[in-house]
Structure 1
Amino acid sequence: MSRVRVTINQAEYRRLTQSPAGPVVRQAERIGRRTVNGAKRNVRVDDGHLRSTISHTVAVLPGRVLMRAGSPLDYGLYLHEGTGIYGPKHRVIRPVQAKALRFEVKEAVGKVSAKGRRPVVFALYVRGVKGDKWLVRAFKDACPYPVRER
């Protein structure tokens, strides 16, 4: 039986996989930028504050390169995963400390008041919003490799 000996050049391996100028880190940066751009296109927002906070980071850890994308704002998760009957608890949203929920409506049937205020709506409960996985869709579109959701 014949034997084969393989010697790996550790310095070159580290340069390829862990150097900021290496192809692995550059590819992670490229996928991160594409994910952020796609997420900014996909997310449903009213004013753009969430859209402006979407970003990515690339970290080189022992044995792997990690790219993270997202937003630090809480309601980004709510738009992604859903709330109320569409969220993890599958229940309507009811007020905790008041008799009714209060919302300012962006686009309402009727006229805006003379002072330029938005119409206000009160509700005893709301069903919530459906999640639309805007970040996962962006990552799947940006990544050339197979992506598996957990």
Structure 2
Amino acid sequence: MHDATIEAALDRASMRWAHGVGTEVTNAAREIITEDGHVDEGRMRAAVDYAVRRGNKSVTTIVGCDVDYAVFFHTGTGIHGPHGTPIVPVSAKALRFEPRPAAVRRKTPRGGVDARYIFRRSVQGMERSPFMVKALHRVIGDDSLIRDRTP
């Protein structure tokens, strides 16, 4: 076989492999998000995707999630996050948020919803759920091939 033919065949094979890994890791990450109970509307799960980049004699598969809050699920927040401190209000005396699940809310006599707010001086935050790293381990399994770019 001619060198150019071999090189073209290797290029096609590596692109197929890269797309296959991207698809598998994307599907695994979506499954893990569901398994970990992080599905409300499904925006984060649906935003997990991959891209394949071809370099000079290399092929790279990049898997990520482009919703702004995905990093908080991945790295944790508050005492469970990178800073290890509770979440406190910056410009108010207390934090205010609506409770989950929505079943805690009660109906008003006119059919509306009385969104009972919860007020706290601080919250511990949520534990990390590194769904991308878990997905890579589920599909690839080899730590030497995994490079975590989480901030």
Runs of 4+ in structure 1 off by over 6 angstroms are none
C-alpha separation between the residues in 2 aligned to 1:53 and 1:109?
27
Amino acid at match of 1:80: H
Max radius of gyration: which structure?
A: 1
Instruction: Tell me the equivalent position of 1:100.
Output: 94
After superposition, the Cα gap between the structure-2 partners of 1:17 and 1:118, relative to the gap in structure 1 and judged at 3 Å, is: farther
Please list every run of 5 or more consecutive structure 2 residues that lacks an aligned counterpart in the other structure. Answer: none
CA distance in 2, matches of 1:112, 1:47: 21
Kept in 1, the 8 Å contact 2:105–2:113? The answer is: no
Distance across 2 between alignment mates of 1:111 and 1:93 = 24
Q: Which amino acid aligns with 2:143?
A: V
Cα distance between partner residues in 2 of 1:70 and 1:86? 22
Q: Do structure 1's residue 129 and structure 2's residue 119 form an aligned pair?
A: no
Query: Which among 27, 33, 36 is matched to residue 17 of structure 2?
Result: 27
Q: What is the TM-score with the length of structure 1 in the denominator?
A: 0.81
Residue 112 to residue 23, structure 1, CA distance change in 2 (3 Å): same
How far did 1:46 drift?
1.8
**How many residues are matched?**
139
1:104-148 C-alpha deviation (Å, 9 max, x unpaired): 1122675523213443211111111111111111111122x6234
Q: Deviations over 1:70-95 (max 9, x none)?
A: 11112101101111111111100111
The answer to whether the Cα contact below 8 Å between 1:113 and 1:119 also exists between their aligned partners in 2 is: no
Provide the secondary structure at the position in 2 that maps to 1:26. helix
